[in-house]
Structure 1
Amino acid sequence: MARTWLTVPVQWHSSREFSSHMDGLTDEEVAFIHSKWRNWYSVDWDYGQTTVAFFCAGIAWLLVLNVIFRLRSRFTSTTPSSSSPSILDRLTAACRYTVASQFRLKAFGWYSPPLAALIGVAGMFIFVMALVLGTRPYYWPKDAMGHSMPIATRSGWISIGIMPFMIAFSTKVNFIGLLTGTSHEKLQVFHRWSATFMYITSLVHTFPFIVMSIRHGEMVETWKTDNFYWTGVVALVPQTWLVFMSWGFIRNRYYETFKKLHFAAALVFMVFLFLHCDWTLTSWDYFWPTLALYLLAFLVRIFRTLYNSALGLPASLESSTSSKDGTDSDSMLKLTIQTPPRVKWTPGQHVFVRFINLGVHAFSSHPFTVASIPRGSEAGNNNGDGQLELVFAVQGGITKKLAGLVKGRPAKSVRVWVDGPYGGIPGKNLGEYDSVYLLAGGSGEPSDRVCVSFTLPLLMDLVRQARSSSLKCKHVQFVLVARTHDSVAWLEDQLAAAIEVGFVVSVHVTRENVSTDDHYATDKLKKENDVSENDQSSNGSVDQVKESFGPSVGRPNLPVIIQKACQAHSGSVALAACGPDSFMYDVRNAVADCQIAIADGYGQCKDLFLHTENYSW
């Protein structure tokens, strides 16, 4: 028998009319199955729309918080610092505590998302489970009450209700991020968990139908004649793949393969889910906003890329050696892209680069943090023209392919499309805070410079502001942790420029004969480093600074540095940090402790801002 794709004639919605008489049921039983939360003919309103309302309410709440925090930031930047934190300052610190605080399972090397993300995910889980399990019965006590089990029906509609938001959380041009002031990569945790909850409800939707069909001896015949069954199973297969292959230990290790198969599996899943819904009630209405959100985000990316890059931007790829003997010991590459004035970016942002003349790699784009400030910024005019520099480690996939292009040659010319920029530090400019701390941590791997590519342009932008006398910040400190002395040699000119304008620079080199455990916690330190120890600060010439500059040996005590920073400054303090998981764990929880002190009204500083960048994608 030929398979049917859709029930014909195809309509947008199915009928809500039901029989006025049901054999074998009493009037009370008829009224019961037609009551709210149990009526099959209004279940899309009861469960699908309720799910949509829940997600919209959460996004609206975050929008309100974003507006309040932005208005507060603008207000505090124009008013003198008070002696103690205000009520709004303390409430802000309490919210920021959840954004900073993090947990870990040391035995498994697992680091959780921030507490705020865990609260959001837990809220989603509680809502979904309460909606699935809150109404009884789960199965009809009589077959005459219906062939669709209540728990299966409601779970299906909850899945459909989650779908638009699951897709919206995933896009690079992210409309939820625009509303909430959050960069797209920080919303990926909600994309993955909403997809997981959608998968759970899909299983709850599927199994009761299979169990009942087997129990009644109808499974084989139903599979042959009912398109709902086979389209549902075909949709469930790629959905299973999408969920299990997206776990971090698989995704991060095989990212290039994961990315290509992820899109292919997602396409198969969406097509067969569309066929499975088969215009039941208003099920197709959930696909149109999903498609609109994704296509609009995709088209914005395409048009912006073509506008900024036209037929491709010329770029120069070169090997960036870091050892004194000239060998490429750290396996780093530098990509310098010549950009027209219309390409604009700010320090701390990242872009997606597509290499046009690199064979199969031209079909995918790759994220890189921008390691330079716009050329116009040096003169105080941020017009975005000049050279966009990307510095990255050679690992696997595209970076290994790029390394092969420059092997044995000084440089290689390529053409690229640039999509972006994205991310960056939200709110006011770092230079408007009273004190700024830039923290960059290396892992002891060839990717030591990855973290620096985020913090370095922030540092150079502050140097530019100091030279133009537009810097309001009273204290700037740059803390860098690297593996060897050689791995920081390439930063000599930039660090010297920072020292020349009066910034504090602390470079900590981990000794090569110490344990390979890269955790920076206090229990791993042989001594506590005072915030002022080994700081190099001078107002002399650049040459004099270079001669006097020398990194200190040993890991810094990050909690002590952060705590002293909060105790030493009574105004506003901003921290921007990037590094491996252990490094960020110490930074986050030290900041969380300080936020608690501010929320309690005992903090010395009244405004502590933390921005973190992902060490790996």
Structure 2
Amino acid sequence: MDMSNGTDPRMDLLMTILDDTELQVIANFYARRYWYGVIVVIGLTALLNMAVRLRSRSRMRSAAASRVKQATPPRCCGRMLDAITSAFRKLIYPQISPTRHSNLLKVPPLGIIVLLFIYLAFVLTLEFVNQDIPGDQHRQAIGVRAGWLTITQLPLLILLSGKVNIIGLITGVGYERLNVLHRWVARTMLLTATLHMGYQQALWNSLGLLQLEWNTDTCPPTGIKAYAFLLWLNLSTLAPIRNLWYEFFVIQHILTFFGLIICIMLHLPSTALFSRIYVWIPIGIYLFERTLRTLRYAYNNLRPGRATLIQLNGGVTKVIVSTRQLKNWSPGSFVLLSLPRFGLGQSHPATVASIPSSHEGKLVFILRAHRGFTSRIHANESTISLHGGSASSESPQDSKSTHLVLIDGPYGGTQLDFASYNSVLLIAGSTGVTFTLPVLLDLAWRAEKQKPAVKHVTFIWAVKTSACTSWIDSELKHAGGELQKAGIELGVRIFVTADEEFAEVDEGKPSSAEACHCEKGNEECSCISPFPKLPPDTKSNPLAEQVKTQERTNEAVEETPRLELPYYASRCSVTTIQSGRPDLKGIIKEAQGKADGEIGVAVCGPVELTAETRRVVAGLEGKGGSIYLHAESFGW
């Protein structure tokens, strides 16, 4: 090798391979094609969202004009639209996810899986199509295009992550549902970054130029740092790590992202500085979203609310928040709730179990005590204990028993209007009732004001013990009364799944209001004591004397056998209770048979409940009335 001229032939070869004058033009072409595809998908989804919501409003207008007949589209178009909708729902609804250790692994619904495979195929097609650069630069071309596709996805990654979400606003999908797409875009970025690094490293190594490139170019060291940040971002979002300590996860996630951005900016070569536009855009999006969210947070807490904590059966705390700032939210919305006394800087996602027109405009939350924040508020000495009682928003409040509360939100509540469906089925497991209850309250409130399209409402609630039924007893009674006044049929079915004492009482006896022995003309059923039976130690319970007085009164007037249920509060005559788990297929099929048109199903609870509901609805879709399903599951 003649090096008399002072140059290293290997350097000349390396410079020839690294010459991306043509490669970056081609790569940028496919980067733009990527965004054309993304914009088309978002646009079509937005149009579909607009169409279904307009159809929902059309049904509501028709119902307001006449309850006899619902508005339907023209016969031919209607049949075609219904057929397409039914086929689409059968595809996207099913979900098969592990029922054990669901906090470690949760498989998304089939519709999300199909969308993710389409996205992956789209990106890989853009990566490998028309890769016809000859010679040694062939692998370099593949690597360069992979690098461009990696940073091209950055704006979409940030668009999918924000709580004040532009994509969610135009598509009608809450940010919490877009989060799974956010994580998989990041994983696709990791894949393309691996291709970018792998093809180039393999090429340099095969030509004996690997060491020379690392010694003379700043791109490999900065690139490996960016890759390390991207790898950790993906590893830390895995459920076991993410759920270990969520507050720490959020902080380190943001800091790691900042590190990734800095390393990418340092990594981009001087010959392609215009590629930084794909970095500056997400920075601008992030700052814009954080500004909007901060302004709303400041407004919500300009006059901070006060929270009253009420301890209920089943390790649950009812949090009643009185605030003068937040007065409007949609049924099923949630907020990020912060009580600084129980965790400075910590916020907990909590679904609002009330609507603006109920509970005197207060926000009501039902939180089960786990570890951390929820266990601290449940065990606090200032928490009012109403074990066995029905806690309402009218509980006494004073400065000594209330706590400062900060609210970020509301978010969610993006489901279609259930008042536009002929029949509505609300299914909840445990504290998942915080989603279905406000939907029921909203239907009841609107039934007073207007004529909704809904004619049948079925409320299904699965709880571990009968004591849990006291959480929402007064709300169910109120909603039942309003719906009955409006001529809407309501059925409340409560399933007690793990109460041995209840099962013993229930064995061989009817466990429904149909079995009551009181006079049918009474305003409310008296077969079940209006005050629940309490545990033996009731000395410190403020309701104990009231309960004893009520029990003595009941004993004096009781002339027929009574059905006593442990820790069970009174409820209206439309309620039935039974031990065991609900037969979802039978329940949904029965609701489908009652309906004259499309039915709306909402489910919220553990993954096993929502996954089974999804599978049942997908199986019944097209075998009767069409079924709209909105599912919410525990976790994030």
TM bucket by the smaller chain? Answer: 0.7 to 0.9
Q: Counterpart amino acid of 1:261? A: Q
Aligned with residue 454 of structure 1, among 431, 435, 439: 435
> Match for residue 96 of structure 1?
89
Distance of aligned partners of 1:88 and 1:488 in 2 relative to their CA distance in 1, 3 Å threshold: same
Consecutive unaligned residues in structure 1, runs of 5 or more: 1-22, 323-329, 379-384, 442-447, 515-531, 598-602
> Match for residue 608 of structure 1?
627
- Check if 1:290 corresponds to 2:282: yes
- Check if 1:347 corresponds to 2:331: yes
Shift of 1:512: 4.2
Shift of 1:509: 0.5
> Match for residue 129 of structure 1?
124
Q: Indicate if the aligned counterparts of 1:440 and 1:480 stay in contact, CA closer than 8 A.
A: yes
Q: Counterpart amino acid of 1:577? A: V
Greater CA drift, 298-307 or 535-544: 535-544
**What is the identity percentage for the equivalent residue pairs of Structure 1 and Structure 2?**
29
Q: Indicate if the aligned counterparts of 2:300 and 2:325 stay in contact, CA closer than 8 A.
A: no
Q: Indicate if the aligned counterparts of 1:499 and 1:536 stay in contact, CA closer than 8 A.
A: no
**Within 2, Cα distance between the matches of 1:299 and 1:408?**
35
Shift of 1:250: 3.1
> Match for residue 414 of structure 1?
403
After superposition, the C-alpha distances for 1:376-407 in whole angstroms (9 at most, x for unaligned) are: 457xxxxxx73111211121233234345447
- Check if 1:431 corresponds to 2:419: yes
Q: Counterpart amino acid of 1:42? A: V
Q: Indicate if the aligned counterparts of 1:335 and 1:390 stay in contact, CA closer than 8 A.
A: yes
Q: Indicate if the aligned counterparts of 1:578 and 1:584 stay in contact, CA closer than 8 A.
A: yes
After superposition, the C-alpha distances for 1:475-504 in whole angstroms (9 at most, x for unaligned) are: 111111110111212322223334434321
Distance of aligned partners of 1:616 and 1:305 in 2 relative to their CA distance in 1, 3 Å threshold: same
Greater CA drift, 546-555 or 282-291: 546-555
Distance of aligned partners of 1:149 and 1:415 in 2 relative to their CA distance in 1, 3 Å threshold: same
* Matched ranges for 1:186-585 at <5 A: 186-278=177-269, 280-310=272-302, 312-316=304-308, 318-322=309-313, 330-340=314-324, 343-358=327-342, 361-362=344-345, 364-374=346-356, 376=357, 386-406=361-381, 412-428=401-417, 430-441=418-429, 448=430, 450-468=431-449, 470-500=451-481, 501-502=483-484, 503-512=490-499, 534=512, 541-542=523-524, 544=526, 546=570, 551-585=577-611
Q: Counterpart amino acid of 1:559? A: K
User: Aligned with 2:622: secondary structure?
Assistant: helix
RMSD over aligned Cα atoms: 3.3
> Match for residue 120 of structure 1?
115
Shift of 1:454: 1.2
User: Aligned with 1:86: secondary structure?
Assistant: helix
Consecutive unaligned residues in structure 2, runs of 5 or more: 1-11, 63-68, 386-399, 485-489, 502-509, 528-569
> Match for residue 553 of structure 2?
none
> Match for residue 397 of structure 2?
none
**Within 1, Cα distance between the matches of 2:179 and 2:247?**
17
Q: Indicate if the aligned counterparts of 1:574 and 1:608 stay in contact, CA closer than 8 A.
A: yes
Q: Indicate if the aligned counterparts of 1:305 and 1:418 stay in contact, CA closer than 8 A.
A: yes
User: Aligned with 1:462: secondary structure?
Assistant: helix
After superposition, the C-alpha distances for 1:267-326 in whole angstroms (9 at most, x for unaligned) are: 21122112212552421111222122222211111111111221532223x24221xxxx
Q: Indicate if the aligned counterparts of 1:348 and 1:369 stay in contact, CA closer than 8 A.
A: yes
**Within 1, Cα distance between the matches of 2:513 and 2:183?**
42
**Within 1, Cα distance between the matches of 2:371 and 2:226?**
32
User: Aligned with 2:621: secondary structure?
Assistant: helix
- TM-score norm. by structure 1 comes to 0.79
User: Aligned with 1:268: secondary structure?
Assistant: helix
Q: Counterpart amino acid of 1:293? A: I
After superposition, the C-alpha distances for 1:67-110 in whole angstroms (9 at most, x for unaligned) are: 22222223333443469862222222333333422234679865
**Within 2, Cα distance between the matches of 1:614 and 1:119?**
20
Distance of aligned partners of 1:398 and 1:276 in 2 relative to their CA distance in 1, 3 Å threshold: farther
> Match for residue 11 of structure 1?
none
Aligned with residue 135 of structure 2, among 111, 120, 141: 141
Q: Indicate if the aligned counterparts of 2:465 and 2:499 stay in contact, CA closer than 8 A.
A: yes
Distance of aligned partners of 1:510 and 1:426 in 2 relative to their CA distance in 1, 3 Å threshold: closer
Kindly tell me the number of residue pairs found equivalent between the two proteins. Answer: 534
Shift of 1:167: 1.3
**Within 1, Cα distance between the matches of 2:591 and 2:513?**
14
Q: Indicate if the aligned counterparts of 2:93 and 2:617 stay in contact, CA closer than 8 A.
A: yes
Q: Indicate if the aligned counterparts of 1:319 and 1:406 stay in contact, CA closer than 8 A.
A: no
Q: Indicate if the aligned counterparts of 1:308 and 1:343 stay in contact, CA closer than 8 A.
A: no
> Match for residue 507 of structure 2?
none
**Within 1, Cα distance between the matches of 2:412 and 2:620?**
25
- Check if 1:183 corresponds to 2:174: yes
> Match for residue 26 of structure 2?
43
User: Aligned with 2:590: secondary structure?
Assistant: helix
- TM-score norm. by structure 2 comes to 0.76
> Match for residue 619 of structure 2?
593
After superposition, the C-alpha distances for 1:109-160 in whole angstroms (9 at most, x for unaligned) are: 655322221121011111112222333358x524xx59x8011101001111
User: Aligned with 1:611: secondary structure?
Assistant: strand
* Matched ranges for 1:24-173 at <5 A: 39-79=22-62, 80-81=69-70, 86-104=79-97, 111-137=106-132, 141-142=135-136, 149-173=140-164
Q: Indicate if the aligned counterparts of 1:436 and 1:477 stay in contact, CA closer than 8 A.
A: yes
Q: Indicate if the aligned counterparts of 2:383 and 2:401 stay in contact, CA closer than 8 A.
A: no
Distance of aligned partners of 1:487 and 1:168 in 2 relative to their CA distance in 1, 3 Å threshold: same
Greater CA drift, 215-224 or 536-545: 536-545
Shift of 1:220: 4.4
Higher alpha-carbon Rg:
2
Q: Indicate if the aligned counterparts of 1:48 and 1:160 stay in contact, CA closer than 8 A.
A: no
Distance of aligned partners of 1:476 and 1:77 in 2 relative to their CA distance in 1, 3 Å threshold: same
User: Aligned with 1:149: secondary structure?
Assistant: helix
Distance of aligned partners of 1:613 and 1:215 in 2 relative to their CA distance in 1, 3 Å threshold: same
> Match for residue 18 of structure 1?
none
**Within 1, Cα distance between the matches of 2:500 and 2:341?**
43
Distance of aligned partners of 1:400 and 1:215 in 2 relative to their CA distance in 1, 3 Å threshold: farther
After superposition, the C-alpha distances for 1:17-70 in whole angstroms (9 at most, x for unaligned) are: xxxxxx99xxxx99xx99xxx931403422221222221121112112112222
**Within 1, Cα distance between the matches of 2:334 and 2:458?**
23
Q: Indicate if the aligned counterparts of 1:505 and 1:535 stay in contact, CA closer than 8 A.
A: no
Q: Counterpart amino acid of 2:89? A: R
After superposition, the C-alpha distances for 1:200-234 in whole angstroms (9 at most, x for unaligned) are: 00011112333344445544454344221111111
User: Aligned with 2:153: secondary structure?
Assistant: helix
**Within 2, Cα distance between the matches of 1:468 and 1:554?**
37
Distance of aligned partners of 1:539 and 1:292 in 2 relative to their CA distance in 1, 3 Å threshold: farther
Q: Indicate if the aligned counterparts of 2:353 and 2:437 stay in contact, CA closer than 8 A.
A: yes
**Within 2, Cα distance between the matches of 1:577 and 1:101?**
14
Q: Indicate if the aligned counterparts of 1:256 and 1:397 stay in contact, CA closer than 8 A.
A: no
